[in-house]
Every structure is written in C-alpha cells, then in structure tokens.
Amino acid sequence: MRAPFRSLVRACLLPACLVLYVSTVHAQGARAREHKARTDSLATVVRGIEQRITTADSLRDPVTAAQARLELAALVHPKTALQLVEEAVAALDTAGAPELALRAHQELADRYTASKAYEKANAQWSIIVAITGRMRDEAKGNAEARATEIARLEGEVEDLTGRLDRAVGVMAQRQDAQARREALSLDAMVAGLVLLALSVVFFTWHAGRQRKALERLRIEKDHLRAEAAEALRAKELRPPSVPVAPPGTATTAAPAPPVAPARVVPCATFTGPTADDAMLLAMVRRMGEARLNTLRDARARGDNDKVVRVVHTMKPQLVAIDAPYFQDLCGRITGAVPGADPVRWAEDLDRFEQGMARVLGRA
C-alpha cells in the first residue's frame, strides 16, 4: 500500500520541482534585466548631469555647476557624493546665492554627521548659522527697503489720486461752465427771438397806429380844407357895405365905384390867404385857445420860462399867418431877459396876447 503511494508522490513531486526551478530562473532573469535597465538609466542621468557640470564650469557659472553637483551627489557613491558636495560648497561661498549655499552646507553637515566627522559637521552648522543671520539681516533690510518703496509708491499714488481728483474737478467745472454757456446761449437766442417777435409786433402795431393817425389827419385836413374853402367862398360872396351919410346933410355923395370883394383877413395885417393858409389858421384856432390860457396862467404865476416856451411853440404858426406883426414881437419875447426891462416885457406880452386874440377871432 505504501509503495504505490510513494510512487505517486514521487511522480507528482518531480514536475513540481521542475516548475519551481523554471519559475525561479525566470524571475532571476527578469530582476537582472530590470536591474540592468535601472543601472543603464541611472548611468544616462549621471552622464547628463556630468555634462551639465562640465558646461557650467566652462562657462564660469558656479551657481549652475553647484546645483548640478548637488543633484549628482544624490545618485553616486557616498564618497563621491561627499566630494561633490564639498566642491559645491566651495563654489557657492563666493557665488552670491545664499539660499543654495545654505542648502549645500546643510547637506554637507548631514553627510559629515553620517560619516561621524562631528567637528566638520559642527563647523558647517556654524557656517549655516552665520549664513542664516546674514539672510535674516538681508531680508530685514530688504523688508525695510520694500517698506520705504511701498511708502514712496503710496505717496505717488496719493499724489496721482489728488491730481486725478483735481483734474476731474476741473473737468467737472469746465463741463458745468460749458453747460451754463450753452444754457445762456440758448436763453439769449430765445430772448433774441422773443425780442425780435415783440419788435415785429410793436412795429406792426406802431405802423398801424401811424397809418390810422395819418388817415385821421388826412380826413381832418380834408375837412378843414373844405371848411376853409367854404368860409372863403362865403366871405367872397358877401356884398360890400355901403357907407350911409349922416342925417341932416343935403348933399348926397356920389355913388362909389364898384369894388372887388376883399379877401378875408383873420388879423389886422394878414395878407391874402390861400387854402393852405386857411387850413393853418383853422388849426391854430383849434389849439390856440389852450395855448393862450396856458400863457396867461404862467404869466399870472410869474413862470417866465413857461411863457417863453409857449411863445416859442406858437411862433412858427403865428409868423406864417402874420409875419410883420409876430416876427419881431416873438423874437423879442424869446430872446429877452424878463427881469432886465419889466415894462417892455409886459408890453410885448400884452401885444402878443392881443395878436393871438385877433387870430382866434376875439378882436
């Protein structure tokens, strides 16, 4: 019973061992290929970084070269890495890149600590403290400079804001002034149009009044002309008066020859009137009554200036009617000084009143 079982186990164990062996060999080959691939890739990266270091050194760019050395130190053997970090630190101490120099010194201190070179590690930490202090001072100075710059910029902003506000105010004032000028121009235009319309209306109304007044004067002139013509016709047709001898005389006078009818003389020395003279006489008689009353009232009150004005106003019409009587008389009254010769002044005014009375038909 045991013999067949052992035979069966042997028959199954042999293929299993064969499969396990084949799997192990295949896995080792895959790991070897993967390791080789990683090694090849790492070698490629290392060669690229080394090429960057060579290029930066040839271009005298210590910052780029030091940064590449720090990158390469993480990929190579610790001894080589320590040498690369020391080279980077030496290059960065005078390169003016404090942040990268601080990183390089920290990495160098860590590597010294890992290799148990504690004195060198402490020296690096001292350098790190010094670099940190310098960076803090520089940051403080930069902060103060930035604060000063910010204050300056704020002042400029405030100044520009003030200028902008003033410019906006000036523009607003100019716009307001322009709006006021436009409003005034519009008001002036409207006022001008209204004034023009009123002027047109006024002149139209005035022209109408003048036409009506002229029409009334023309009608009145025609009426006066007709009245004067009628009066002249009546005077001319009146028969002459025949003188009558006083009673008791025995002799009879010879009959007088026929005499042509005399022309109407409104006053003592008035020469023969024409139709225009008759119209002038009628107009003088219409307004002369009021003028004569005004003259007498002013004379009674002693208002010699008004007396002179009345005589001066009536002089042209009276001279046109009876120049021999009124020419010199009116001239003496208007040109005399009332207080110089009161007797002559009173006599001239009396004669003037008498002449006007004759013109008005009172004498």
CA distance 277 to 194: 48
H or E element: which one contains 44? helix 2-58
Better-scored residue on pLDDT, 95 or 153: 153
In the chain, the DSSP E strands lie at none
Average pLDDT over residues 81-107: 85
Average pLDDT over residues 79-102: 85
pLDDT over 90, % of the chain: 13
Better-scored residue on pLDDT, 83 or 350: 350
Give the tokens for residue 50.
């080394």
Average pLDDT over residues 230-256: 47
In this structure, are residues 64 and 100 in contact, taking their beta carbons and an 8 Å threshold? no
In this structure, are residues 236 and 186 in contact, taking their beta carbons and an 8 Å threshold? no
Structure confidence at residue 264 (pLDDT): 36
Average pLDDT over residues 187-194: 87
Share the mean pLDDT of the chain. 78
Per DSSP, the three-state class of 242 is: coil
- Residue 262 in this model has a pLDDT that exceeds 80: no
Which stretch of 106-115, 162-171, 264-273, 342-351 has the lowest confidence by average pLDDT?
264-273
pLDDT over 70, % of the chain: 74
145-181, pLDDT tens digit by residue? 888 888 889 888 988 888 888 889 898 888 888 988 8
**pTM for this predicted structure:** 0.34
Better-scored residue on pLDDT, 315 or 214: 315
Residue type at position 92: L
